[in-house]
Amino acid sequence: MTRHRSDGKHWLAGLWRAFTSPSARWSFGAILIAGGIGGVLLWGGFNTFMEYTNTLEFCVSCHEMETTVYQEYKKSPHYENASGVRAVCADCHVPKDWGAKVLRKIQASSEIFHKLAGTVDTPEKFEAKRRQLAERVWATMKANNSRECRNCHEYQAMAFHKQRTESQQKMQLEAAPKNMACVECHKGIAHKFPLPPRDDE
């Protein structure tokens, strides 16, 4: 019994020496602490940059966005309204949940390729792609039941009696009971509605 205690103390003492005694330059403990600090700094830097990519300034920093959808957005109620509440690009296009947000950022990295390739670098090219781009966003919003819209707009929080008669009937009697995705009825809210596709498309 005494021997086991002695062996246990010996093992703990050896572990403590490994943690505190220097190797060629660093002790094991110092390496762990430095690694921990480095990890925190790396994580903080990554998260800070990811949040920066959610800002309006970042989203419209390329001329493809600044000269097209940003100008349309500035005329919408999401940019300026009576209550003074502004929804920026990320509020509509980036999930709040961290995992879904990272996935969306990975998907958005393809936009770097299209930026370099000049896919929509002129108003004419953008208009030619507008319907395709819009339908991709609409499909995503329908698939996630307009998750980002619901960060601000929720059926349970709506004062239906304050809505216009037609809106009240559609929202309270049709959309809310079916928990319909907002995008099923509301398209072209912040951006110009794309022209219908040509017959040969």
pLDDT for 1 beyond 60:
no
Interatomic CA distance for residues 61 and 120, integer angstroms: 15
pLDDT of residue 146: 96
Q: pTM of the prediction?
A: 0.74
For residue 168, tell me if it sits in a domain: yes
Between the two ends of the chain, the Cα-to-Cα distance in Å is 85
Q: Is residue 111 part of a domain?
A: yes
C-alpha distances in Å from residue 194, one per residue of 100, 127, 184: 28, 8, 15
We report the CATH number of the domain holding residue 124 as 1.10.3820
E strand or H helix at 4, and its extent? helix 2-20
pLDDT band at 195 (very low <50, low <70, confident <90, very high): confident
Q: Is there a binding annotation on residue 154?
A: no
124 assigned binding-site residue: no
| 158 marked as binding residue | no
Question: Is 153 marked as binding a ligand?
Answer: yes
The pLDDT value given to residue 200: 45
> Does 50 appear as a known binding residue?
no
DSSP 182: G
Does the residue 23 lie in any domain?
no
Give the chain's domain count: 1
> Residue 10's pLDDT is what?
73
The answer to whether residue 14 is domain-embedded is no
Q: Any known ligand binding at 93?
A: yes
Give a yes or no: residue 148 inside a domain.
Answer: yes
Quick one: what percent of the chain has pLDDT higher than 90? 64
Q: Any residues with CB less than 8 A from the CB of 190 and at least 6 apart, and which?
A: 69, 72, 73, 76, 78, 79, 87, 92
Contact status, residue 191 vs residue 65, Cβ threshold 8 Å: no
Does residue 8 lie within any of the structural domains?
no
Residue 27 class from Cβ within 10 Å (0-12 exposed, 13-18 middle, 19+ buried)? middle
Residue 157: pLDDT band with limits 50, 70, 90: very high
77 inside domain: yes
Distances (CA, A) of 181 to 13, 144, 174, 186, 195: 63, 8, 11, 9, 22
Find out whether 185 is annotated in a ligand binding site: yes
Q: Residue 99: which domain range?
A: 30-184
186: annotated binding-site residue? Answer: yes
* pLDDT tens column, 7-30: 666 777 766 666 666 555 666 677
Q: What share of the chain is helix, strand, coil (3-state, %, to 5)?
A: 65, 0, 35
Q: Is 65 annotated as a binding residue?
A: yes
| Contacts by residues 116-125 (CB-CB < 8 Å, ≥ 24 positions apart) | 120/64, 120/68, 121/63, 121/64, 123/67, 123/68
148 is in an annotated binding site: no
Domain presence at residue 117:
yes
